[in-house]
Amino acid sequence: MAKKALPKSAVPDLIAKLRTLYPNPKTELDHKNAFELLAATIMSAQTTDKRVNMVTPALFAKYPDAAALAKAEQADVEEIIRTTGFYRNKAKSIIGMAKALVERHEGEVPRTLAELVEIPGAARKTANVVLGAAFGLAFGVVVDTHVQRLSQLIGLTQHDDVKHIEQDLMKVIPQRDWVDFSHFLILHGRRVCVARAPQCDACPLNQLCVSAFEPAIGYVPAGEKRGKPLKKKVVVETKAMRAARAKSRKTAKAIAKLGKAVTARIKKPKH
């Protein structure tokens, strides 16, 4: 986590740079309407958007709306979405979601946070995704793993839990930008600030991100001397590297054992 906080005065510059990088921010979950987005978002837990997009065409072809999905057999839905992982729980959730929409909202996705979080499978994050992406309504900031990580690195929050991170972001990000800001960080986290190998040296945000410099000097206003971006490199250990490291440890232990034996002989009193 970043040791310094990005000044609130730097936030407009941050948003402007992100908007230049990603002029048309949107969710990467394929959907035609709010119902499809809600189902896709529920299925996106613990998997990638790409994987979800591989199963939704078949799912929505067979169950095009809430009324159809509410009548579905769980085994049939499970078979379609099996590759997304945790498919039994997800099938149960999206069928329950569809039944709730039919029973409480005439088959339509509600447009308030209070109503949406009462739908099976639609916790606050999911509700905010749907409200923002489908209706353009900003009731909060979506905090997924990318938003959590980048918010900490940039210096927008010092917290680890999602609830406090969202509150911190809502305090410094203008409400008109809440929906886009989440998309900005998600896209940036996937394309540039990749968790395993962040491209700090090439990142257009490196003069704003308090974690991109050594020593950490924090935000540098325009016109002042800039720090030198770090080139962060992550080495992925291969099987051969692991074997070599294990062999090295074994050799080191053997040498240490031999050394102890020699020392013991030297110190052994003569009779």
- The 3 state secondary structure assigned to 205-254 is CCCCCCCCECCCCCCCCCCCCCCCECCCCCCCCCHHHHHHHHHHHHHHHH
Sequence letter at residue 17: K
DSSP 88: H
The catalytic position among 99, 125, 177, 180 is: 125
CA 185/CA 193 separation, integer angstroms: 9
The catalytic position among 13, 49, 65, 144 is: 144
Which of 88, 84, 87, 107 shows the shortest CA–CA distance to 97?
A: 107
Q: What is the architecture of the domain spanning 34-135?
A: Orthogonal Bundle (1.10)
Give residue-wise pLDDT tens across range 200-247: 888 999 999 988 854 444 444 444 454 454 444 444 445 565 666 666
pTM value is 0.75
Give residue-wise pLDDT tens across range 101-153: 999 999 999 999 999 999 999 999 999 999 999 999 999 999 999 999 999 99
The yes-or-no answer on residue 268 being catalytic is no
pLDDT at 201: 87
Give, in order, the Cα–Cα distances in Å from 4 to each of 15, 27, 69, 174, 208: 19, 30, 49, 21, 11
The yes-or-no answer on residue 239 being catalytic is no
Decide if pLDDT at 189 tops 70. yes
Decide if pLDDT at 95 tops 70. yes
- Do residues 190 and 146 touch, judged by C-beta distance below 8 A? yes
Which of 88, 67, 66, 68 shows the shortest CA–CA distance to 79?
A: 88
Q: Average model confidence (pLDDT) for the chain? A: 86
